[in-house]
Structure 1
Amino acid sequence: MSTKRKINILVGLFVLSAIWGATQYSQKIGYKRYLDAQYQRMFYELIGNVETIQSDLSKVNVSTSTKQNVIILNDIMNQSYSAQEKMSQLPLNHVALGKTEKFLTQVGDYTVTLAKEAIDDKKLDEKERKKLYELQKNAQYLSEELGELQRNIAKGEVEFFDVVAKSNKKLQKSNKNIMATSMIRIEERMNETPELIYDGPFSEHIGNIKPRLKGQKIDKNKAKEIALKFLKEKNVKDLTYDGRLKNAHIPGYVFKNDEITLVVSETAGKIVWMIDTRNITEPTIKKEEALNIAKTFLDKKGYKNMVPTYSLRYDGTTTFNFSYKQEGVVVYPDLIKVKVALDKGDIVGFESQGYLVSHYDRKMGTPKVSVDQASKSIIKGAKIFKSRLAIIPTEGKKEKLCYEFKVKYENRNFLIYVDAITGKQQKIFELIKNENGTLTM
């Protein structure tokens, strides 16, 4: 081969290499811009949620109308849960943000409790107003700090892509990093949030219960195998290890990819929760089909004898609550939530914490009063549509066997729980139906 030909070949290879390099660089820049745009959108929505929370907390503290309180408190609840969802999707350290996430959970759960009381025309007392004021001040601080971080992002001083590219250890150790420093300040302030004690609905009353989950301890490698097996239907080939939740109610290992985050319990290797943040398009699936998908999913994952108890439609998805059924009795504490996307019918959310905390092989007691005797505790004039036995949690971390009555009274629907041993009423929930589902208050 002549020298000239060799030179031509080398020049050609150099040109091809340069073109390939330029293409790769262009693709990386495009991906970086896309990722930053997506994260910025979620961050701005998070700020909007928190601003609304602090504004609504101020409004409810000056309101004297219980009807108005129901509206405002329900909005706070929705905004707080939406804020938690946005925070979970951002490239922030989930372990380091535990107190901030707990604050948002407390705001949501506490306002649910107050809304339930407001429906019964109970006005806020001085102690409740003081708690709301303390929550409002922390929400205001959180809003201001996030706003300052937003301004730094707008100036180009912070880019989410760079945060993703760094390891969590670097992010924790680098106080020079604007994002990390801001979140550390927020965490320190959230640590001052007062502990709230409230009687939440059955789906939330697990925070102070010691988990019953038993089994061998697993390492992160085994946990990754379990996570990939759980996501088999999604054709996920690999996941990135994202840290250990050492101080969580159920300690576990966090794994993620571009769209999915999930936690595998350190004990027994169970999936604690999973969220898929893929873009969801126009719904094509009806509720009944989505319910069958959720049932089949639980059955395949080894969760038998689960019955649906509640559903909520939101943002192109429907979330179904399932409770364990033993010997014909619905066991409300053993709760699993499954979220189905209504465009493709795939599972985009899963949470089994209630089940993992509460489930065990119970010895079912025998009712000492009949269903007819128990029904006599229902107010006269109420129409009973349905009754069944159920186990419900109590404030004292215990459980009670009750008759569950679904009734209608003065054009309003209720669930009334009557102790199957004493015949006395234990709980009352109002069922509020809208286009999204049924809300229990």
Structure 2
Amino acid sequence: MKEEQEISKNFSSGAEKVETIAQANVVTGLDGVPVGSGFEQIPTATVPATFGVGTPIGEEKKDKGEEQVLLERASKRELYKERERARAQERIKRAQLKKERKENAKNSRKKMQPKNGNDSNGNGGKDSDNDKNHRRRKNDYGGWIAAVVALGVTTLTLGAVVTAGAIDMKETKQGITNAYRGNLYELTSLIENVDGDLDRVRVSASPAQQQRILTDLLVQARLAESVIEKLPIDAQNNGNVTSFINRTAFVCEHLLSKLRKGETLDEKDQEVLEKLYETNHRVRGMMEDFIADLQDEDLTEYLKGKGEDKFSQAIQNVENATMEENRNPTFSEPPEVRAGATPKDSQDEKISSAKAEELCRGYFSEYDVQKIRFDGETVSRKFQAYNFVLTDSNDVEIFAQISEMDGSLISFDYYEYCTKQNLDIENAKTVALNFLEKMGMENMTAVKVSQTGATASFTFCYELDGDLFYPDSVNVKVCEEKGVVVGYNASAYLRHHKERTPLKPTVSMTSAKEKLHDKLTLEGSKVALINVKGRERVAYEFICSYNDETYFVYIDGNTGEEISILNAKTIMR
């Protein structure tokens, strides 16, 4: 005990003290085994003094076994000593680390403690405003980080939304462009088919072969006409092309009618086919050249409406190619008068474009027109017209066509956007009738009406003594929000209307009723003049119903045969 106390006095370090005491406590016995290790009570073996020559074999084996046990015990004691030394060294290291931490903490406190009880700013140990602000700023880093993170997330979200929107818009534009490109390819293919049919029929001498070719030609022409309507081209830019396609189809119908009657194509018919082939062949070449160089950028520029792109130029070239044929048609058309003219003055000289502009301003005097520009001519089988584009005070445009014969307003479209329905159907009809009276059209009766959104569309026919004259018809669209006419087409009225007399059918009304189907319920009847395959025919018009559907049934007033049936959803009388 005294030895342990003396050792403790010579060490100030707790770790050194622990190590010294640990070493001092390792007390060995007589046989070298540490006291308290659990091995000191094991008795040591005694080697017989007589071991050697003459020792019995049994005793020799016994001595060797005891020697082996002693060796194993000695080995175990050495292992135990090694473990104890390692544990003691680990305890010493932990004690030293603990001491170093305490010393470091103590030194840090001494360095931070101000001399004479004051801090570096002389505030007596109190925090200065700068220190408080510094700590406040230091504590606010978390808020700044949160704000920056939130801003970053918002920016990324908005960027993703904008990017997705841009991608969707790009895909939409690409889809529209692809659709228009497909329509152009289809139209070019149809023009090629028309060209091939015209090329073959002009050299065919067989009526049967001519009939087969003309039938296919008629189908191709009708398909081409429908495809043109799908292209992003308005009426003012495709009037001549459409008229040429229509004329081609009409020629086919006329020649097929002759062949069915057993007649043959004469020299005049061959001349017509030759002229149509020459014009269509030029159009085909232009279309093929344009399609070969067509790029998506060309369609995109055209859709912007600047009018200086390759697509617009190609359309204008095709228009010019068909204008000559439209202006000087070689085909003897049925006797009908061009829009805006009468049989008496149809051969008179045309009015000037300046006169047409003056008349156009008068027609739209109530539309607050700010400017007007001449936009070329439209020449078709049905009419010849000057085109004008008018702009009102709200920069809304009106496209109007004025007859070159007498200055009549043939048609117009007012691109006003209507959303609210401020007028009912009756008031809208009154607006339309007032406009027709301004155009000099009297005794007009509404025979059909339809409504789309805030726009009401009417079909009016001339009526005399209760008889309806359907060829003398006009279409009018009324904006129910602003109460103005936004659409008008009087081409049929201007072509057909003349001094009319009451209709006199030879078949009685009673006999005509007997021709109706037994399932039909008669709702009303009138005498009417209708147009059937280019011919005006007097007929009885019977309004009938069946299974909640309304039908117009027309019975010829002179032969008693059923000549037409129409289904109408909405009728106004």
Note whether the superposition's TM-score is higher than 0.5: yes
Q: Is the 8 A contact 2:240 2:322 kept in 1?
A: no
1:7-156 to 2 correspondences below 5 Å: 83=230, 87-88=233-234, 93-94=237-238, 98-100=240-242, 148=294, 150-152=296-298, 154=300
Partner of 1:160: 305
The separation in 1 between residues aligned to 2:527 and 2:493, in whole angstroms, is: 19
2:372 corresponds to which of 215, 231, 239? 239
Amino acid at match of 1:393: N
- For the 8 Å contact 2:443–2:464, the answer to whether it is kept is yes
User: Which residue identity is paired with 1:282?
Assistant: K
Q: Which residue of the partner structure matches residue 254 of structure 1?
A: 387
The alpha carbon displacement at 1:403 in A equals: 0.9
Tell me if 1:183 matches 2:315: yes
Aligned residue identity for 2:241 = K
**Residues 52 and 426 of structure 1: is their aligned pair in 2 closer, same or farther, counting only changes over 3 Å?**
farther
Partners of 1:276 and 1:349 within 8 A in 2: yes
Give the distance between the partners of 1:347 and 1:186, measured in 2 at CA.
33
Match status 1:221 vs 2:354: yes
The whole-number CA distance in structure 1 between the counterparts of 2:514 and 2:459 is 30
Secondary structure of the residue aligned to 1:343 is coil
Task: Give the deviation of 1:327 after TM superposition.
Answer: 2.5
Amino acid across the alignment from 2:388 = F
Structure 2 CA distance for partners of 1:257 and 1:49, relative to 1, 3 Å? farther
2:435 maps to 1:297: yes
Asked if the contact 2:556/2:563 (under 8 Å) is kept, the reply is: yes
CA distance 1:245–1:235, shift in 2 (3 Å): same
**Residue 520 (structure 2) pairs with residue 382 (structure 1):** yes
Q: Does 2:448 correspond to 1:310?
A: yes
Q: 1:413 aligns with which of 535, 550, 571?
A: 550
Between the two structures, name the one with larger relative contact order (CA 8 Å, sep ≥ 6).
1
Q: What stretches of structure 1 of length at least 5 have no aligned partner?
A: 1-39, 56-75, 108-137, 164-176, 192-206
Q: Counterpart amino acid of 1:278? A: E
Q: Between 346-355 and 404-413, report the one with greater CA deviation.
A: 404-413
The structure whose residues are more often helix, as a share, is: 2
Deviations 1:197-255 (A, max 9, x none): xxxxxxxxxx9662262245321111111111110121224311111224452112111
**Contact 2:467–2:503, Cα closer than 8 Å, also in 1:** no
Q: Which amino acid aligns with 1:252?
A: A
Larger radius of gyration: 2
Give the TM-score normalised by the residue count of structure 2.
0.46
Shift of 1:393: 0.9
Is residue 367 of structure 1 aligned with residue 505 of structure 2? yes
Identical-residue share of aligned pairs (%): 22
Distance 2:176 2:490 in 1: 30
Q: Which of 330, 337, 341 is 1:211 aligned to?
A: 337
1-side partners of 2:306 and 2:442: how far apart?
Answer: 42
Q: Which consecutive segments of 4 or more residues in structure 1 shift more than 6 A?
A: 52-55, 79-82, 104-107, 185-191
- CA separation of 1:387 and 1:245: change in aligned 2, threshold 3 A: same
* Matched positions, count: 309
Report the structure, 1 or 2, having the larger strand content: 1
Question: 1:297 and 1:280 mapped to 2: Cα distance?
Answer: 19
SS in 1 for 2:358: helix
Q: Does 1:335 align with 2:473?
A: yes
Distance in 2 between the 1:349 and 1:333 partners? 19
Q: Which amino acid aligns with 1:398?
A: R
Alignment map for 1:390-405 (pairs within 5 Å): 390-395=528-533, 397-405=534-542
For residue 375 of structure 1, report the CA deviation from its aligned partner: 0.6
Amino acid at match of 2:432: A
Deviation at 1:98, TM superposition (A): 2.1
CA change 1:344–1:399 in 2 (3 A) is same
SS at match of 1:366: coil
The whole-number CA distance in structure 2 between the counterparts of 1:49 and 1:233 is 41
Q: Which residue of 1 aligns with 2:562?
A: 425
CA distance in 1, matches of 2:443, 2:319: 41
Q: Which moved more, 1:328-337 or 1:374-383?
A: 374-383
Cα distance change on mapping 1:100 and 1:400 into 2, 3 Å: closer
Contact 2:240 2:378 in 1 (8 A): no
Q: 2: CA distance between counterparts of 1:46 and 1:313?
A: 32
